[in-house]
Amino acid sequence: MKSLPVLAATALVVAAFGHENPVAAQATAAPKAATVTVKNDAFMPAIVHVRAGQTVTFVNGDDETHTVTSDTAVFDSKNVDANGRFAYTFAKPGSYPYHCAIHTFMKGTVIVDPSGAAP
């Protein structure tokens, strides 16, 4: 009858791992968002890397209106007033240059890596 406690202990260990695995999988798959802040007529950081499926939020930290306008017509925030924000989810890998339509010298690029790529 000495084997019963061992079996019980084994069952507990299996149960514990069974609970942890879904949590670990979720943490790995959870999208990590990125934020670009607009300050002093500049996008910061000017180049941001995300994975496919992730969302980039642009926050206007200036006291004037800006836009986040794709150079290749993929997205366009239109006017984003002071303290406003614009979010876009990048589904496909690639390089997405953009600018401010009001201050055309303001430029930035979102680089979208394949979803399985290292961060």
Residues interacting with Cu ion, by CB under 5 A?
A: 66, 100, 102-103
Q: Is 42 in a helix, a strand, or coil?
A: coil
* Minimum CB distance to Cu ion, residue 46 (Å): 14
* Minimum CB distance to Cu ion, residue 66 (Å): 3
Helix or strand holding residue 22 (H, E): helix 3-29
Instruction: Give 80's DSSP letter.
Output: B
Measured from the CB atom, is 51 or 66 closer to Cu ion? 66
* Minimum CB distance to Cu ion, residue 83 (Å): 14
* Minimum CB distance to Cu ion, residue 52 (Å): 27
Measured from the CB atom, is 38 or 54 closer to Cu ion? 38
- Kindly give the pairing relationship between strand 54-60 and strand 34-38: parallel
The string of DSSP codes covering 4-21 is HHHHHHHHHHHHHHHHHH
How far is 68 from 51, CA to CA, in rounded Å? 19
Measured from the CB atom, is 85 or 103 closer to Cu ion? 103
Instruction: Give 115's DSSP letter.
Output: T
Measured from the CB atom, is 51 or 106 closer to Cu ion? 106
